[in-house]
Amino acid sequence: MSQLSDEDQIAVRLVAEIWSGAFSELESDEKLVELRKNLIDPGLVDLMFHEKPVLSDEDVVRRAREYRPFAL
């Protein structure tokens, strides 16, 4: 996890924990809520579960950080 901020390292850990399947659905949902507090990309779940080829946990966080909201 080199060159990642402390906040991004926490986000990477949360992505890895969600992907691990070692938690109940409720616990995974709670981790996703925590992750969404730091990564505002509305496509976060798509990055995690639907991106082809599959991204690493660090790449998910990096790509989610690249999202910039826009005004309508």
pLDDT in tens, 3-59: 889 999 999 999 999 999 999 999 999 999 999 999 999 999 999 999 999 999 999
Q: What are phi and psi of 59, to 5 degrees?
A: -65, -35
Global pTM value: 0.88
pLDDT(1) > 50: no
